[in-house]
């Protein structure tokens, strides 16, 4: 392998994310069939700022997050028609894996690695509390996007809490609303 900047060298995949056409059906599948849970529902997420293909947007969306071992499963539901990677997916009638996520310590370095790899930034978000994420399309492959995110310690701690809860989940209270 050469010294070429490769996206995989940024870190391991920590999440698989889906934008299902029916969130309730997807939750039933993941909890009842796969035995993954509990899911934590974060509704109408407030972002500090968002851009879709370079243009500022306001997207109204919610997520449900659970852990399957060390892999985070995220289900995303967009509530409005603002331009976004989620709306585009829905408009194209696509199903299946929407994106994978890599957590990084240095988002500026990650942006540079993606640029060198020829990946285009499709969406950017700045999360309350200091987090920042980019969603890149590396071209080719199965057509899924890659989310690269730098998170504040509080978010990382909450993810660790969710992962620990999943280890002891007994099937009760499969979807827990936050906020």
pLDDT in tens, 51-105: 999 999 999 999 999 999 999 999 999 999 999 999 999 999 988 899 999 999 9
All domains in the chain, ordered by first residue: 11-169 (3.10.180.10)
Residue 44 near residue 60, CB atoms below 8 Å: yes
Question: For residue 16, how far is the Cα from the chain centroid?
Answer: 7
- The pTM for the full model equals 0.94
pLDDT in tens, 102-133: 999 999 999 999 999 999 999 999 988 889 99
Run of H or E including 40:
strand 39-42
Runs of H (alpha helix) within the chain? 23-28, 85-91, 107-116, 153-167
Nearest Cα to Cα of residue 84 among 131, 118, 133, 36: 133
CA distance 11 to 7: 8
């Amino acid at each position: 392998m050469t010294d070429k900047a490769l996206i995989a060298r940024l870190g391991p995949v920590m999440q698989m994310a889906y934008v299902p056409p029916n969130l309730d059906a997807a939750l039933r599948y993941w909890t009842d069939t796969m035995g993954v849970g509990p899911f934590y529902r974060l509704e109408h997420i407030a972002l500090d700022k968002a851009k879709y293909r370079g243009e500022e947007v306001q997207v109204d969306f919610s997520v449900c997050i659970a852990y399957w071992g060390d892999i985070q499963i995220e289900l995303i539901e967009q509530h409005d028609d603002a331009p976004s990677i989620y709306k585009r997916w829905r408009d194209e009638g696509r199903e299946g894996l929407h994106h994978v996520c890599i957590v990084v310590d240095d988002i500026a370095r990650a942006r540079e690695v993606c640029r060198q790899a020829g990946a285009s930034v499709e969406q950017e978000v700045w999360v309350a509390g200091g987090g920042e994420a980019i969603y890149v399309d590396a071209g080719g492959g199965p057509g899924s996007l890659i989310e690269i995110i730098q998170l504040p310690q509080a978010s990382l701690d909450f993810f660790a809490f969710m992962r620990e809860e999943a280890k002891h989940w007994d099937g009760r209270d499969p979807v827990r609303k936050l906020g």
